[in-house]
Amino acid sequence: MGDNETVICRCEEITLKEIKETIERYQCSAREVKLRTRAGMGPCGGRTCRCMIDRLVEQLGGPSISNEISLSYRPPVRPVSFGVLGGDVK
């Protein structure tokens, strides 16, 4: 597996290649990368990939972080039990 196939966002399975292409094509900020690729929008809310996305944007010449709306960490809308997920509860 090449470096470009490295998964940056495990929750949404977004690769380094996808993020690089998005930054280079749109010259976007970290927030825009999140909105365009869904990186950082999975169950962890960006806790595992947010710093990496910020660094990639900085390294690839995206806009510097300004007064834009920051990425936020959000819990799931509501908790769901394993019984509901497994189909045991009706």
C-alpha closest to that of 71 among 27, 31, 32: 31
Residue 7: strand pairing partners = 15
Looking at residue 87, what is its pLDDT? Answer: 75
Q: How far is CA 25 from the centre of its chain?
A: 17
Arithmetic mean of pLDDT over the chain:
82
pLDDT tens, residue by residue, 21-31 = 999 999 988 88
Domain span at residue 52 reads 3-65+73-86
Q: What is the CATH number of the domain that holds 45?
A: 1.10.10.1100
Q: Model pTM? A: 0.66
Would you place residue 69 in the very low, low, confident or very high pLDDT band (cuts 50, 70, 90)? low
**Structurally, how many domains does the chain consist of?**
1
Q: Where are the beta strands (DSSP E) in 1-90?
A: 7-9, 14-15
Looking at residue 3, what is its pLDDT? Answer: 77
Looking at residue 46, what is its pLDDT? Answer: 86
Higher-scoring residue by pLDDT: 71, 5 = 5
C-alpha separations of 23 from 3, 39, 76, 78 in Å: 17, 12, 27, 32
Residue 71: pLDDT over 60: no
